[in-house]
Amino acid sequence: MNNVNLLDVSNLKVHFPIYLNGLFRKVKGYVKAVDGVSFSLDRGQTLGLVGESGSGKTTIGRAVLRALEPTEGKISFTADGTHVDLATLQGKALKQFRPNMQLIFQDPYASLNPRMTVRDIISEPLECLNSFSRKEIDERVREIAGMCRLNLEHLRRFPHAFSGGQRQRICIARALVSRPKFVVCDESVSALDVSIQAEIINLLMDLQQELHLTYLFIAHDLSVVAHISTKVAVMYVGQFAELAPTERLFFKPLHPYTRALLSAVPTINLETAFEPVKLEGDIPNPANPPQGCRFHTRCPYVSSICKEEIPQWQEWEAEHFVACHRVDELN
């Protein structure tokens, strides 16, 4: 089962139009939230997506799930031996395909309906499919609840009776009840306290083993991403700066932005000095990204070519992609 390609995204673009006020609502520009992103993911792998707020991490997740219409690009998804291009799938075919992919949200307090019992919450994805009997639904809810360490007693209660960690387990059960192959975890552990967070990360990793899941794991906490991911992509203003297997990315980063990002993470290790690479200024606005390399406004190694030409997305070493003009000089 290993090394079976599940997802192949190429040149994905998601642009949101900005309208002028007035009668005809003329389009005056686009927010290029995701602007030409490519990656592939095998079954059972986890791609970690890191980057600062507004860099387009969530937009990628939503576009792949087709909660958003991609502007351009291909999203080819292989399930049970058949290929589909998710970017063009429409209507009934898309609806039938949806159980294959699910989303786990960030805030377990906001993403559970307070007026539904836990059983109803978990079973809703199945009810939507209209193809299961009540008995089958009950069985599957119980099975998945058990896997997510919820007991049968819990199923009759309402969300308010649960703590943050338990609520997140309910969210995970809801996402997995339709037996998806691909799950997007959008900041799924960020709202949790450290002592609870570790437990949820362990649960996600156990479920991945048991159910052979593939994750797209979006988070801003780099150490969490490092822990759970097989490979990691670093995003900056709608584009990938670097994509590499986890250990390579964390121990041999190539892109100046990746290095700055890694150096800025405060650690509990007191022996090594905390010396973050100083990045001047703020993150550019994706409606008006800088010319050339998007990082050039803050890059400590900026040269004249960076300001004019867009760097190539190149495979610098096997599996290690980077977009930087000066990667050869700097490494």
CB of 47 to another protein, least distance (A): 15
Asked if 193 is part of the footprint of another protein (rule: CB under 8 A), the reply reads yes
Residue 227 is a binding residue for another protein (CB under 8 A): yes
Instruction: Figure out which of the listed residues 16, 97, 158, 250 binds another protein, where binding follows CB under 8 A.
Output: 250
> By the 8 A CB rule, do 278 and 257 touch?
no
Interface with another protein by CB under 8 A: which range of 99-107, 139-147, 258-266, 288-296?
Answer: 258-266
- Neighbour order of strands in the sheet with 101-104: 101-104, 182-186, 214-218, 46-50, 231-236, 239-245, 320-322, 314-317
247 contacts another protein (rule: CB under 8 A): yes
State the alpha helices, DSSP H only, in the chain: 57-64, 91-97, 118-129, 134-147, 152-155, 164-176, 194-211, 222-228, 246-251, 256-263, 304-308, 327-330
Helices (H) and strands (E) in the chain, counts: 12, 12
Handedness of CA 203, 209, 215, 221 (dihedral sign): positive
Residue closer to another protein by CB (options 233, 260) is 260
User: Three-state SS for 101?
Assistant: strand
- Cβ proximity to another protein: between 220 and 326 the closer is 220
Beta partners for 29? 18
Applying CB under 8 A, which of residues 260, 293, 299, 323 lies at the interface with another protein?
260
> Is there a contact between 330 and 256 (Cβ–Cβ < 8 Å)?
yes
The candidate with the shortest Cα–Cα distance to 167, out of 83, 111, 241, is 111
How many residues bind another protein (CB under 8 A)? The answer is: 41
Among 45, 197, 214, 239, binds another protein (CB under 8 A): 197
Query: In whole angstroms, how close is the CB of 203 to another protein at the nearest point?
Result: 9
Our finding on whether 268 is near another protein (CB under 8 A) is yes
Q: Which of residues 38-57 bind another protein (CB under 8 A)?
A: 52-53
- The binding track of 147-186 with respect to another protein, each residue x by CB under 8 A or -, is ----------------xxxx--------------------
> DSSP letter at 261?
H
The Cα angle at residue 207 between residues 253 and 117, in degrees rounded to 5? 120
Q: Count of residues for the chain? A: 331
Least distance in angstroms from the C-beta of 129 to another protein = 32
* Closer CB to another protein, 79 or 283, in the complex: 283
186-to-49, 60, 108, 117, 296 alpha-carbon distances in Å: 9, 10, 12, 24, 28
Does 224 participate in binding another protein (rule CB under 8 A)?
A: yes
Interface with another protein includes 259 (CB under 8 A)? Answer: no
Question: Minimal distance in Å, beta carbon 268 to another protein?
Answer: 5
Examine residue 222 and tell whether it contacts another protein (CB under 8 A): yes
State whether residue 290 is helix, strand or coil.
coil
Q: Which two tokens stand for residue 213?
A: 């899941």
Min dist CB 53 to another protein, Å, is 6
**Binding stretches for another protein (CB under 8 A):** 52-53, 163-166, 193-199, 201-202, 205, 220, 222-224, 226-227, 246-247, 250, 260-261, 263-270, 274, 276, 278-279, 282-283
